[in-house]
Structure formats: structure tokens, C-alpha cells
């Protein structure tokens, strides 16, 4: 942790690496936690004192004392879903209204953005992305095409701006619908028929939003840094879902990489201190798109069962596979990762052997870098390591690690040329080992 700097914590794979848990664990060292991109497509799970929480738009530092948490300009916010999430936390005794600050420049996800999300997916047919259906893509599209509504817009002439944006969306939806088949059109029409109900709750959400400090978060954050405070930036999704560097077009619509913290919070690159890269000891992916190390056999199923690999937002089965060091080296490179955090090693506690993909074979040629196209002709080249066959879930220090596990860590550090500083051995806040 560096005073007067921001440290950035982000996922290095296809999301769900365990970012929420680690942000919660690290928050006591920081003055402020800030989310910089994504929206309610995220599901960040935290467990402590026998309770489990899933956060979607609210930063994962919210449970630690009275720390201020900021929703930055790079985030897209759905007022109705935000209201549900915040009210549930308030009901469980967590005070939010003074310490959850929301950027005026964050864009609003409108109900019609969610219908548009479904319409674009239907239009793509078999090539669909498998989005979370939360309207993420259409909201970021409106932002970039200069048609978006921002949180600051709710403070002035909001009804007029909303009606104009909604009419524009309905035009697009109708034009897409006219080219869909009957079944798809029917599904879309159903969403339009219930739109007024969704809209009613959404507008309640807008009113609810007004009760929170709506701020110029770029000024707030830079003033904090000037007075030597420390900030932890929380990423959502993962590097392989980044709109520029991920497995395009099977990605989300924001920059999930470290640079996203600069644009999503208004912080200069020279203010970035540590970059924590989070990875699982294996790999998962939700939704469509290439996944070179995916396992379709019993081992994949065992990982899914032991790791409870089901989506926190949609409940979908997560696709499971071995750790992919080629993809991780690429992620470490584009993020400038300074230290690694390895999650869910306990899931592999019972395995006889463990595989790690160290290179790809592309059209028969071995490569050790992440290529432009990973959709076809990629065959992982594995190295197999002995398993540690030890239940580590109650360990409290790295001195207790079996030799095979220490060797596995050393192997990963050498392959990735980056130190692994924290090991997570279970979902609970306490099941975290910080290495010396």
C-alpha cells in the first residue's frame, strides 16, 4: 500500500477470480475503495462471520468499518438494481448513505438498454456473446456514441432527457425486431409488454439514488491523494473480457485492464502504485467464446463441483479448465501487474496431479505468446505437476504448506516472472494467507 497513490486490483482471467473477497481483505489498509468499470454484470462474493454477500455495483470495501466507497465515472449503473442491492445491505445493518459516493459522470443503464441487449443477442443468433443481459453493451455504446444519460442528469430536466433516449431506443428495438424470426420477436415483445413495470421500479431507483452523495469523484479522489490518503481501485470482470485485449468479440464492453482505472476514475497513470493481479489456481469462463484449456471431461466437472463454479449473477454453469499461463503472461503484460494473488487453490487439494498450460500449439507450431486469434487451431501444451493431496483450508501460515504446493507456487512464479504474494485457501475472509 502506498500513501498518495492508488493500488489497482483486477482479474487476470475471464472474471470471477475472487476479486470481491480480496478487496474486502485488503480494505483495512486503505482509506477509500473505488470501482472503476463494469456494472451489475459483476457478481463479487464475500464471506465472513458465517454470512455471504454478493455485490454487483457497490464496491467490496463497504463492509469494513466506516470506509468511503466510490462508484466511479467508468461504471454503468442501473438504479433499480442498485436500489435492491443497497436496500438489502441497509436491511442487514450496514450504513451506506454517507459513505457510498456516486460519480455524476457514471452512465445510467435504462430499462430499454436491457431490451436492446436481448435484441442484439437475438440478432447475433448462434454467434451470440452470452451476455448477462444487464444492458451493459448498449449502455457503453450510448456513452461512446454520445447518446448516454449520466447520473448527473437526474439533477436537471431528467424526464425530458429520459423520454428522448427511450424513444430512440424503441426505434432501434423495433427495427431489429422486424428482422427477427417469430419466436425471437415474441420474446422481445414480452420484454416490451412488461417494460412499464420495470420502468416504474427504475424511476423509484432514480429517486432512491438522489439520497446518496452524487459527487465529482475525480476531484474527490485526486484531493484525497494530495492529502496522502491511499485508495484501492476494484476492477470487475477480467482481462480476457477487456474490450480491447480480451477474446473479442466475446468480451464485455469496458476496459477491464489497469488503464481502465485511469479513465474510470480520472486518475493519472503516475498515481498508480501496486497492480494486484488475481487469478484462480485453475481457470473458468461464463458465456460463449474461446477457452483453450477448457475441460469437457470428469476433471472439468470435478473442478466445477468442488469450486461451486456457478455464476453469481445468472446462476449459469461456469466452464472450467486448467490454468493457462500463456493467457496469464499476456494479462500480466497489459496490466503491468506487480504482484499476484492466487485464489481457490483449495479446490485442487485432492488432485493426484495438476496441469498447467505453458504454451500453445497453433497449426502445429508451438508458440509461447498470446496470439490474435485463439478461436481456432489452438492446442494447449501442458506441464504436469504432482498434487499436494492435503486439506489446506484451515492453514494459517505458508510454513504449513506441503512441499508439492510450495513447488507449484515456485513453478508459477518462474513461469509468470511475478511474485505470488497472497494465497486464498477458502471463500472466507479468514482463509487468506499473506506470504512473507
Where do contacts with ligand IMO occur on this chain (CB under 6 A)?
11, 14-16, 38, 41-44, 129-132, 134, 136-137, 236-238, 241, 252-253, 286-287
Q: Determine the Cα–Cα distance for residues 333 and 7; give it in Å rounded to an integer.
A: 17
Q: Looking at beta carbons only, is 51 or 363 nearer to ligand GDP?
A: 51
Residue 43 binds to Mg ion (criterion: CB under 5 A): yes
Per DSSP (E only), the strands in 235-352 are: 272-280, 283-285, 319-321, 323-324, 339-343
Name which of 263 and 415 has its Cβ closer to ligand IMO: 263
Chain contacts with ligand GDP (rule: CB under 6 A): 11, 15-21, 42-45, 47, 307-308, 312, 343-344, 346-347, 424-427
CB of 14 to Mg ion, least distance (A): 10
Tell me if 264 contacts Mg ion by CB under 5 A.
no
CA distances in angstroms from 411 to 12, 261, 407, 419, listed in the order given: 18, 30, 6, 11
Q: How far is the CB of 88 from Mg ion (least distance, A)?
A: 17
Cis check for the bond before 78: say yes or no (omega within 30 of 0).
no
Here's the x/- map for Mg ion, 308-347, by CB under 5 A: it reads as ----x-----------------------------------
Give the residue nearest to ligand IMO (CB). Answer: 287
In the residue annotation, 428 being an active-site residue is answered as no
**Between 84 and 379, CB nearer to ligand GDP:** 84
Known catalytic residue at 16 = yes
Nearer CB in complex with ligand IMO: 89/358: 89
In angstroms, give the least distance from the CB of 307 to ligand GDP. 6
Q: Looking at 24, 31, 44, 80, which residue is catalytic?
A: 44
User: Which listed residue (16, 24, 234, 274) binds Mg ion by CB under 5 A?
Assistant: 16
Please give the Cα distance from 195 to 394 (Å, whole number). Answer: 49
Q: Which three three-digit cell numbers place residue 132?
A: 448477462
DSSP string, 181-227: -HHHHHHHHHHHHTHHHHHHHHHHHHHHHTTS-EE-HHHHHHHHHHT
Q: C-alpha cell of 386?
A: 504432482
Report the 10 Å Cβ neighbour count for 213. 14
CB of 261 to ligand IMO, least distance (A): 14
33 binds, among ligand IMO, ligand GDP, Mg ion, none (CB under 5 to 8 A by kind): none
DSSP classification of residue 234:
E
How far is it, in rounded angstroms, from Cα 49 to Cα 405? 28
Asked if 7 contacts 221 with a C-beta cutoff of 8 angstroms, the reply is: no
Catalytic residues: 16, 44
Site residues for Mg ion per CB under 5 A: 16, 43, 312
Amino acid at each position: 500500500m502506498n500513501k498518495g497513490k492508488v493500488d489497482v486490483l483486477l482479474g487476470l482471467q475471464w472474471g470471477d477470480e475472487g476479486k470481491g473477497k480480496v478487496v474486502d481483505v485488503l480494505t483495512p489498509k486503505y482509506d477509500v475503495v473505488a470501482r472503476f468499470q463494469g456494472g451489475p454484470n459483476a457478481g463479487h462474493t464475500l464471506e465472513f462471520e458465517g454470512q455471504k454477500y454478493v455485490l454487483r455495483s457497490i464496491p467490496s470495501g463497504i463492509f469494513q468499518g466506516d470506509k468511503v466507497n466510490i462508484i466511479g465515472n467508468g461504471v454503468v449503473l442501473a438504479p433499480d438494481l442498485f436500489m435492491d442491492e443497497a436496500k438489502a445491505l441497509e436491511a442487514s445493518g450496514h450504513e451506506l448513505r454517507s459513505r457510498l459516493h456516486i460519480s455524476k459522470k457514471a452512465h445510467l443503464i435504462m430499462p430499454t438498454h436491457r431490451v436492446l441487449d436481448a435484441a442484439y443477442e437475438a440478432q447475433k443468433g448462434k454467434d451470440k456473446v452470452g451476455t448477462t443481459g444487464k444492458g451493459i453493451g448498449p449502455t457503453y455504446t450510448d456513452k461512446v456514441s454520445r447518446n448516454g444519460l449520466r447520473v448527473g442528469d437526474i439533477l436537471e430536466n431528467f424526464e425530458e432527457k429520459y423520454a428522448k433516449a427511450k424513444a430512440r431506443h424503441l426505434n432501434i428495438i423495433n427495427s431489429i425486431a422486424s428482422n427477427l424470426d417469430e419466436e425471437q420477436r415474441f420474446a422481445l415483445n414480452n420484454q416490451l409488454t412488461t417494460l412499464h413495470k420495470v420502468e416504474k421500479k427504475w424511476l423509484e431507483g432514480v429517486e432512491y439514488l438522489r439520497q446518496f452523495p452524487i459527487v465529482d469523484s475525480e476531484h474527490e479522489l485526486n484531493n484525497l491523494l494530495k492529502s496522502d490518503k491511499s485508495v484501492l481501485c476494484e476492477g470487475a470482470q477480467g482481462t480476457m473480457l477487456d474490450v480491447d485485449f480480451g477474446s473479442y468479440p466475446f468480451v464485455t464492453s469496458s476496459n477491464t485492464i489497469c488503464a481502465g482505472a485511469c479513465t474510470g476514475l480520472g486518475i493519472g497513470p503516475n498515481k498508480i502504485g501496486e497492480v494486484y493481479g488475481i487469478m484462480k489456481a485453475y481457470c473458468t469462463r461464463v458465456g460463449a467464446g474461446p477457452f483453450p484449456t477448457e475441460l469437457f471431461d470428469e476433471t472439468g466437472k470435478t473442478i466445477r463441483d468442488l469450486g461451486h463454479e456457478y455464476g453469481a449473477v445468472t446462476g449459469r454453469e461456469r466452464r472450467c479448465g486448467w490454468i493457462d499461463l500463456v493467457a496469464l503472461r499476456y494479462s500480466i503484460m497489459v496490466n503491468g501487474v506487480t504482484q499476484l494473488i492466487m485464489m481457490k487453490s483449495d479446490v485442487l487439494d485432492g488432485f493426484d496431479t495438476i496441469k498447467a498450460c505453458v504454451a500453445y500449439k497453433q497449426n502445429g507450431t508451438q508458440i509461447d505468446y498470446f496470439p490474435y486469434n485463439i478461436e481456432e487451431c489452438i492446442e494447449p501444451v501442458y506441464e504436469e505437476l504432482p498434487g499436494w493431496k492435503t486439506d489446506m483450508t484451515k492453514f494459517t501460515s505458508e510454513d504449513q504448506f506441503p512441499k508439492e504446493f510450495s513447488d507449484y507456487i515456485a513453478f508459477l512464479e518462474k513461469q509468470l516472472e511475478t511474485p505470488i504474494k497472497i494465497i486464498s485457501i477458502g471463500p472466507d475472509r479468514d482463509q487468506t494467507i499473506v506470504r512473507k
